[in-house]
């Protein structure tokens, strides 16, 4: 098909607000080319309204670039209508990072030359609120919007979430008893064979590098893990067991429990390297990482249809974080919901604060070190020790974690990947 691409001038380094991207969506009728601002959130719902088709994002090869010239591929196109009103737009080409310059009037003419639909996508996105003052109100408004259920006094009743599991209740009660001993915690954990098996497997993993495997829970606690670590591991596993994994998921994303156990192990390992902060507890760090994405379970449980929509939008907008998508769909962030529920279950403030503020950059306040440690762990898992963001390097330096320490953590996580995968698999069953 003839296209004007060769006749359009290249546009090096255009301003972000002028950049236009494209993606493919499809159904059993075929594919559609979607053309939108790079900063816009491509939502399948406006496409459905415009085309009367239920389409989903069609994944492309990693780093592939799709031409944003309407009709370039011979497919019908859905074009963000406001682009046709712009004096200048920068249309992505099939060469990654390359754009061509056009006017809105030219874009309008391109749409007239083939089957095309107009729609509107929002670019007014917000992430996780930086303060907690409006959290409860936001949760109640979301529930009121998406359910016919009357707002109750307590969040766990409002959201129809199962009560805190008995094992978790017993662990929390035991932690408040200054007279507890080894036998008490062993008795609680052995009452849940699945949790006991997971803890034994982790104690004998390459992560700890013990030369002699533990054969009993007593030995695993006394010689390898310690009371704090076992308390927090068992508590996190019991809480995770109370909600089922959502049926919907983001194509290509890591499984929920795989992310959770990698985050937990990384936060724990980093806390042991933090020489400038002796108050950081590795067990608390482990639980912080294990529950960092608990909001996914909460949202998937409370709002199944809306969570399915969030997953579809994530697939179509890989450059936009899920906090902004949560706000767009639900008007409340999953971390806000998770932290509120964990507070009702009387979990330690260090945990609820880290979960709540993990996506708030530069958070300063109570338990800020656990927030920063969780963000550092997530950055390390995402980018590796060589490509950490500058703020993560600053966090590491402030906590006394050297470059060698970061490398050591990455190495120990890599060496334990088989055990981490096995633990994630057992938690997901």
What's the mean pLDDT when you consider all of the chain? 88
Q: What is the pLDDT of residue 154?
A: 45
Across 381-403, average pLDDT: 92
pLDDT band at 308 (very low <50, low <70, confident <90, very high): very high
The contacts of residue 178 (CB under 8 Å, 6+ apart) are: none
Residues 110-130 have pLDDT tens digits of: 999 888 999 999 988 888 888
* Nearest CA among 34, 23, 43 for reference residue 123: 43
Burial of 273 (0-12, 13-18, 19+ CB in 10 A): middle
Q: Count how many Cα atoms sit within 13 Å of the Cα of residue 294 in the half-sphere of its side chain.
A: 30
Residue 142, pLDDT score: 80
CA distance 159 to 155: 6
pLDDT, position 5:
67
Structure tokens at 92: 């992505």
Strand partners, 32: 25
Query: What would you report as the CA-atom Rg of the chain, rounded to the nearest whole angstrom?
Result: 25
pLDDT digits (tens, 9 = 90+) for 249-299: 998 888 999 999 999 999 999 999 998 877 888 889 999 999 999 999 999
d(CA 96, CA 7): 19
pLDDT higher than threshold 50 for residue 152: no
pLDDT digit string (tens) for 92-113? 999 999 999 999 999 999 999 8
DSSP 277-323: -TT--HHHHHHHHHTTTHHHHHHHHH-HHHHHHHHHHHHH-TTS-HH
Average pLDDT over residues 238-253: 86
pLDDT for residue 263: 95
Per-residue model confidence as pLDDT tens digits over 337-352: 899 889 888 888 999 9
Specify the pairing of strand 56-57 against strand 77-80: unpaired
- Residue whose pair of structure tokens reads 């849940």 in the numeric block: 192
Per-residue pLDDT, 172: 84
Q: What is the DSSP letter of 225?
A: I
Contacts of 97 (CB under 8 A, 6+ apart): 65
Contact present, 221 and 391 (Cβ < 8 Å): no
Query: CB-based contacts of 267: which residues, under 8 Å, 6+ apart?
Result: 285, 286, 288, 289, 373, 374, 377
Characterise 331 by phi-psi region: left (phi > 0), alpha (psi -120 to 50), beta (else): left
pLDDT given at position 4: 59
All domains in the chain, ordered by first residue: 5-119 (3.90.960.10), 135-161+243-428 (1.10.3210.10)
Q: Residue 32: what pLDDT?
A: 95
The pTM assigned to this predicted structure is 0.84
pLDDT band at 310, cuts 50/70/90? Answer: very high
């Amino acid at each position: 098909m003839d296209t004007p691409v060769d006749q359009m001038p290249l546009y090096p380094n255009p301003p972000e607000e002028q950049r236009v991207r494209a993606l493919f969506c499809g159904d059993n009728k075929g594919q559609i080319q979607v053309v939108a601002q790079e900063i816009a959130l491509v939502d399948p719902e406006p496409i459905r309204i415009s085309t009367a088709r239920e389409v989903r994002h069609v994944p492309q090869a990693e780093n592939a670039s799709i031409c944003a010239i309407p009709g370039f591929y011979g497919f019908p196109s859905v074009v963000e209508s406001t682009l046709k009103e712009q004096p200048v737009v920068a249309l992505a080409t099939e060469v990654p990072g390359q754009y061509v310059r056009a006017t809105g009037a030219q874009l309008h003419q391109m749409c007239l030359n083939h089957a095309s639909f107009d729609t509107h996508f929002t670019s007014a996105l917000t992430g996780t609120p930086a303060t907690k003052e409006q959290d409860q109100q936001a949760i109640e408004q979301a529930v009121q919007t998406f359910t016919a259920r009357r707002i109750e006094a307590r969040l766990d009743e409002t959201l129809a979430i199962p009560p805190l599991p008995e094992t978790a209740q017993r662990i929390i009660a035991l932690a408040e008893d200054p007279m507890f001993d080894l036998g008490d915690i062993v008795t609680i954990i052995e009452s849940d064979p699945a949790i006991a098996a997971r803890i034994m497997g982790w104690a004998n993993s390459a992560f700890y590098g013990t030369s002699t495997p533990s054969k009993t829970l007593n030995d695993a606690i006394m010689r390898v893990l310690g009371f704090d670590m076992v308390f927090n591991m068992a508590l996190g596993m019991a809480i995770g067991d109370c909600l089922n994994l959502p049926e919907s998921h983001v194509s290509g994303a890591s499984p929920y429990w795989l992310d959770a156990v990698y985050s937990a192990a990384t936060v724990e390992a980093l806390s042991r390297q933090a020489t400038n902060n002796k108050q950081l507890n590795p067990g608390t760090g482990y639980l912080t990482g294990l529950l960092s994405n608990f909001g996914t379970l909460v949202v998937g449980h409370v709002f199944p249809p809306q969570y399915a929509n969030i997953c579809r939008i994530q697939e179509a907008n890989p450059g936009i974080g899920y906090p902004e998508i949560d706000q767009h769909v639900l008007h409340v962030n999953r971390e806000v919901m998770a932290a509120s529920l964990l507070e009702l279950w009387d979990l330690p403030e260090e945990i609820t604060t880290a979960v709540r503020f993990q996506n708030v950059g530069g958070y300063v306040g109570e338990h800020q070190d656990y927030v920063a440690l969780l963000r550092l762990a997530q950055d390390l898992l995402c980018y590796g020790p060589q490509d950490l963001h500058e703020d993560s390097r600053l966090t590491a330096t402030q906590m006394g974690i050297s470059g060698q320490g970061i490398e050591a953590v990455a190495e120990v996580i890599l060496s334990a990947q088989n055990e981490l995968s096995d633990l994630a698999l057992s938690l997901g069953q």
